[in-house]
Amino acid sequence: MPAGEKPKILIVDDAAENIRILMENLKEDYAIVPATDGDKAIKMLQAYSLPDLILLDIVMPGADGYEICRRLKSDEITKDIPIIFITAKDREEDEVMGLTLGAVDYITKPFCMPIVKARVNTHVELKKHRDKLKQLSDLDGLTGICNRRRFDENMKLQWEYAQRSNTPLSLIMIDIDHFKAFNDLYGHGKGDECLKKVAHTLFETIKRPTDMIARYGGEEFACLIPVTDLDGATNIAEQMRANVLSLSIPHEASSAAGFVTISLGAACIKPTMYAAPAILLNGADQALYQAKRSNRNCVRTCRFE
């Protein structure tokens, strides 16, 4: 969550009056998104940025709160969003059922707003700390951008999303040209500085929060770009190439230029149930190989028909 931005809460309840009361009492500290049934809530989660907490009624038309909770907890994208049941069902076995399904709390109606606010605050703060710890574990220690493990996780999630939404998924593989020669000539300290500058420049080139740049290994980087066709990915790759060249980092041992340059391979595919993410990785790798064979400091592409 960006600094200064209010935590987002999704309220799912078929009773408009309940939503009104909760919104009125929580809107000062939280950004509230209402949904009047479970199916609408699921669609909203697929279309917009994820909330920090879900307040979920149990008794609703269509899929009830228990079923919605099951769906959310079985989905890799939504499984870590904390859910608090707010319901008129006050039997012990109902509460046990809700907590067993993965909810973090259970509040019965008619609710006491000071208690609701205190519990909401507690679980939002806990999620903030969990997100911070996960973010630290997802970052490359040298460059500060995402690491290979986080890239692999996100590739799986974005592949599944592209399958469901029938949208293109693009990937750019990036390699610093003649980096071993750079290290040999200038030393590993300068090599680390070079990696950090290039990583920062690549990160600054991507604009959307859904796009990801990661250190893939050594001097190689990977950029995952959802809902973008090959032309769009190629444009981004060209911007990356130009931005790195404009750093004007001297590289006297390079045959590509007198400065540090990168080679890039871009590929795009519309994932289907008959394909795996490896096909997109292989396509981008092959395009990168062609860029290296073309005297480097250039972009090459792989188009799947």
pLDDT tens for 11-69 read 999 999 999 999 999 999 999 999 998 888 988 887 677 899 999 999 998 889 999 99
Question: CA-CA distance, 258 to 255, in Å (whole number)?
Answer: 8
Mean pLDDT computed over every residue of the chain: 92
Region at 218 (left for phi over 0; alpha for psi -120 to 50; beta for the rest): left
Q: Is residue 105 over pLDDT 90?
A: yes
Q: Which of 254-258, 286-290, 293-297 comes out lowest in average pLDDT?
A: 254-258
Using DSSP, state whether 267 is helix, strand or coil.
strand
**Token reading at 149:** 């493990």
Residue 111's pLDDT band (cuts 50, 70, 90) = confident
> Taking Cα atoms as reference points, which of 281, 216, 280, 219 lies closest to residue 244?
219
- pLDDT value for 305: 64
Strand segments (E) across the chain: 8-12, 31-35, 53-56, 83-87, 105-108, 169-176, 212-217, 220-226, 262-269, 299-303
Residues 250-273 have a mean pLDDT of: 94
In angstroms, how far is CA 20 from the centroid of its own chain?
Answer: 31
- pLDDT value for 58: 93
Q: Select which of 219, 220, 252, 305 is catalytic.
A: 219
Using DSSP, state whether 19 is helix, strand or coil.
helix
Are the beta carbons of 201 and 244 closer than 8 angstroms? yes
- pLDDT value for 1: 58
pLDDT tens for 138-192 read 899 999 999 999 999 999 999 998 998 899 999 999 999 999 999 999 999 999 9
- pLDDT value for 238: 98
Question: CA-CA distance, 214 to 64, in Å (whole number)?
Answer: 39
Residue 151 belongs to what H/E stretch?
helix 148-165
Are the beta carbons of 206 and 199 closer than 8 angstroms? no
Q: Is residue 2 over pLDDT 90?
A: no
Residues 210-216 have a mean pLDDT of: 95
- State how beta strands 262-269 and 8-12 pair: unpaired
Which residues lie closer than 8 Å to 97 by C-beta, 6 or more apart?
66
Percent of the chain with pLDDT over 70: 98
DSSP state of 112: -
This prediction has a pTM of: 0.67
- pLDDT value for 39: 87
Please indicate whether residue 125 is annotated as part of the active site.
no
Are the beta carbons of 221 and 244 closer than 8 angstroms? no
DSSP β-bridge partners for residue 88: none
Residue 274's pLDDT band (cuts 50, 70, 90) = confident
DSSP state of 138: T
- pLDDT value for 148: 95
pLDDT tens for 222-248 read 999 999 999 999 999 999 999 999 999
